Chains A and B, each alone.
Chain A
Amino acid sequence: EVKLVEYGGGLVQPGASLRLSCEASGFTFSDFYMEWIRQAPGKGLEWIAASRNKANDYSTVYSASVKDRFTISRDTYKSILYLQMNTLKPEDTAIYYCARGYYGYTHWGQGVMVTVSS
């Protein structure tokens, strides 16, 4: 069974940093694109970052809204996806989901809340 479990969220002040983790199990981690998608309170879905699979050298892509502030990475031995978030802004407040990309986002984690507020 495919499982994605995010953790690491919390309340931080503007300008702070936070690292989210997503533990994956039930599939070969290196074979799949892994992505972060967020949802601000009461709002829709916003894709923010992707880590392509091993066949694509684990290359990364970012949305304009987080480029140069957020870094997506993965530990292929532990099957963990990370999102390092720096210089956080109030508008980064959202539920952050990790998702497995293959013929669409077929599997999603339960989400983790990040609140950026003073």
Chain B
Amino acid sequence: DIVMTQAPLSVSVTPGESASISCRSSKSLLHSNGITYVYWYLQKPGKSPQLLIYRMSNLASGVPDRFSGSGSETDFTLKISRVEAEDVGIYYCGQLLENPPTFGAGTKLELK
């Protein structure tokens, strides 16, 4: 199975500042079709996860453009510009290149 490793496990951010979360995969997530099959999700407290970024850098519907995704074949970054109170929660990266789909352990974002 592809292992997804996130860092840090938690991050504390001042509202209005930016935050970055890293994710590393145990093998390349770049398919021969040129698509990188990494995804980012946010689980707000007490809620179901929601999709933020698909295929490494594409913003999901309804997601503010303060969120952005980037990376290479095995190293990925979620950046949140101008963090707001509603961004608090646990962020997960995940891969859909191979079965079984796997997720990182999550990064908890809190406000200072």
9 smallest CB-CB distances across A and B, nearest first, come from A104-B54, A108-B48, A47-B101, A104-B39, A45-B103, A103-B54, A104-B51, A63-B100, A44-B106
Instruction: Name the interface residues of B22-54: CB closer than 8 Å to any CB of A.
Output: 39, 41, 48-51, 54
**Interface bits A70-98 vs B (CB < 8 Å: 1, else 0):** 00000000000000000000000000010
Q: A63-B100, A104-B39 are in contact. Are A45 and B92 (CB under 8 A)?
A: yes
In the bound complex, do residue A106 and residue B51 qualify as a contact, i.e. CB atoms below 8 Å apart? Answer: yes
Would you give the 0/1 interface string for A104-118, flagging 1 where the beta carbon is closer than 8 Å to chain B? Answer: 111011110000000
A interface, CB within 8 angstroms of B? 35, 44-47, 50, 61, 63-64, 97, 101, 103-106, 108-111
Contact indicator B100/A47 (Cβ below 8 Å): yes
If over half of A's interface residues share one DSSP class (helix, strand or loop), that class is named, otherwise mixed; here it is strand
Q: Could you say which residues of chain A place their CB within 8 Å of the CB of B99?
A: 50, 61
Q: Could you pull out 13 A-B pairs where Cβ atoms are within 8 angstroms?
A: A44-B104, A45-B92, A45-B106, A50-B99, A50-B101, A64-B100, A97-B48, A104-B60, A105-B51, A105-B94, A106-B60, A108-B49, A110-B48
Interface size on B, residues (CB 8 A): 22
Q: Is the CB of B48 within 8 A of A47?
A: no
Rounded to whole Å, the gap between the CB of B34 and the closest CB of chain A is 15
- Whether a CB of chain A sits under 8 angstroms from the CB of B20 is no
Shortest CB distance A40–B (Å) = 12
**Residues of chain A with a CB closer than 8 A to B49's CB:** 45, 97, 105, 108
